[in-house]
């Protein structure tokens, strides 16, 4: 019952003032930081497999060093896109 009352009070505040006075769950900066962190984690996981395969290929044939390196860092683009978010918020 009290929750409903609180909700009604909150709605009233919004309707009267046009904005919310309570602090949001996450500040925008913190949300962006989490986004970057998660994408870096995902990129790292993706690079794990590619890196292992690339090292295997380089061990067999030295010429594959450059292609291997490029393939390995491709998932890094994930992090770059995530950093864009930092500038957007």
Partner 1 sequence: MSQGASNTEYVSARVRARRAALFADEDYRKLVRMGPSGIARFMEESEYEREINELGARFSGVDLIEHALNRNLAKHFGDLLEWSEGRLYDLIARYLRKFDVWNVKTIIRGIYTETPAEEIQTDLIRAGELDDATLDRLLEVDAIEDVVEILDGTVYHDPLEAAYEQFEETGALVPLENALDREFYEHLLDNLGRPQEGPEAKYVEFLQAEIDFLNARNALRLARSGADLDPASYYIAGGVLFDQQDLNRLVTDLDELVDHIAENKRYGKRLSGALGQLREADSLIQFEHALDAALLEYSDTLSSIYPVSVSSVLSYILAKEREIENIRAIARGREVGLSESEIEEELVIL
Contact pattern for partner 1 over residues 20 through 39, marking x by CB under 8 A: --------------------
- How many residues form the binding site for partner 1 (CB under 8 A)? 11
Residues 35 and 78: their CA atoms lie apart, in Å, by: 10
- Binding part of the chain for partner 1, among 2-10, 33-41, 46-54, 81-89 by CB under 8 A, reads 46-54
In the complex, the smallest distance separating the C-beta of residue 40 from partner 1, rounded to whole angstroms, is: 20
**Site membership for partner 1, residue 62 (CB under 8 A):** no
Buried b (16+ CB within 10 A) or exposed e, 25-51: eeeeeeebbebbeebbeebeeebeeeb
Asked if residues 15 and 54 have their Cβ atoms less than 8 Å apart, the reply is no
Binding residues (CB under 8 A) for partner 1: these are 49-50, 52-57, 59-61
């Amino acid at each position: 019952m009290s929750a409903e009352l609180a909700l009604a009070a909150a709605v009233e505040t919004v309707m009267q003032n046009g904005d919310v006075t309570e602090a949001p769950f996450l500040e925008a900066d913190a949300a962006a930081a989490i986004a970057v962190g998660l994408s870096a984690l995902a990129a790292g996981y993706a690079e794990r497999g590619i890196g292992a395969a690339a090292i295997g290929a380089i061990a067999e044939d030295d010429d594959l060093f450059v292609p291997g390196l490029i393939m390995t860092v491709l998932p890094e683009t994930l992090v770059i896109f995530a950093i864009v978010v930092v500038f957007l918020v």
